[in-house]
Amino acid sequence: MPNYSRQRESIRNFLAGRRDHPTAETIYQNIRQEYPSISLGTVYRNLTLLSELGEIQKISAGSGPERFDPNTAPHYHFICTHCGGVSDLKMGSLDHINILAGQDFDGEIAGHSAYFYGTCAGCRSAGRTMTEDRAADRTDTGQRGPKSIP
């Protein structure tokens, strides 16, 4: 078991209170308020450790930086192609698609990775239908623009 460290504790607590799946950079900028001398490397090191310990989840959706989720229960994510925001989807398991995938396949399907994309409620009500996003305005989107998201 790893030793205690206040930096790691702070990262743990910060993440626990967020539902927006922040990137390492965002976590770094926030933890820096409390520990001005923390380094980005420490943030990465601890995020990797915490996800290896199964306390958090590392999620990668297409291009762009990895994101971190305090919810370790299996669930699916939605990525808005306009603002870049990532949110949780309330939907049941899709494990039946593993069967479909294995039907005409020689190897063994152990699982799948999937995410959904489209326009989030906020962007739709703001009339953002084409890619005239303003991701940079948001607290954290983790990407500068809607790159090749699919």
Partner DNA sequence: ATAAATATAGGAATGATTATCAATTTTATT
Partner DNA sequence: AATAAAATTGATAATCATTCCTATATTTAT
Which residues are near DNA by CB under 7 A?
2-8, 23-25, 35, 37-42, 44-46, 48, 64-66, 142-143
- Long-range contacts made by residues 125-132, C-beta under 8 angstroms, separation at least 24? 128/82, 128/83, 131/81, 131/82, 132/82
User: Tokens 């593993």 sit at which residue?
Assistant: 98
Reading the block at residue 111, the tokens are: 């699982």
Query: Smallest distance from the beta carbon of 49 to its own copies, in angstroms?
Result: 13
Q: Smallest distance from the beta carbon of 145 to its own copies, in angstroms?
A: 15
Q: Which of 77, 7, 88, 19 lies closest to 49 in space, CA to CA?
A: 7
Of the candidate spans 21-29, 35-43, 88-96, 134-142, the one that interacts with its own copies by CB under 8 A turns out to be 88-96
Residue (38 or 123) nearer to its own copies, CB: 123
> Residue from 92, 127, 130, 132 that binds its own copies (CB under 8 A)?
92
Q: Which of 4, 107, 127, 131 binds its own copies (CB under 8 A)?
A: 107
Q: Which H helix or E strand runs over 92?
A: none
Closer of 17 and 150 to its own copies (Cβ) = 150
Look at residue 65 and give the partner it binds from its own copies, DNA, none, a contact being a CB closer than 5 to 8 Å depending on partner kind.
Answer: DNA
Nearest distance from residue 149's CB to its own copies, in Å? 8
- For 55, other C-beta atoms within 10 Å of its C-beta total 14
Whose tokens are 């990525």? That residue is 79
Measured distance between the N- and C-terminal CA atoms of the chain, rounded to whole angstroms: 39
Between residues 126 and 135, which has the closer beta carbon with respect to DNA?
135
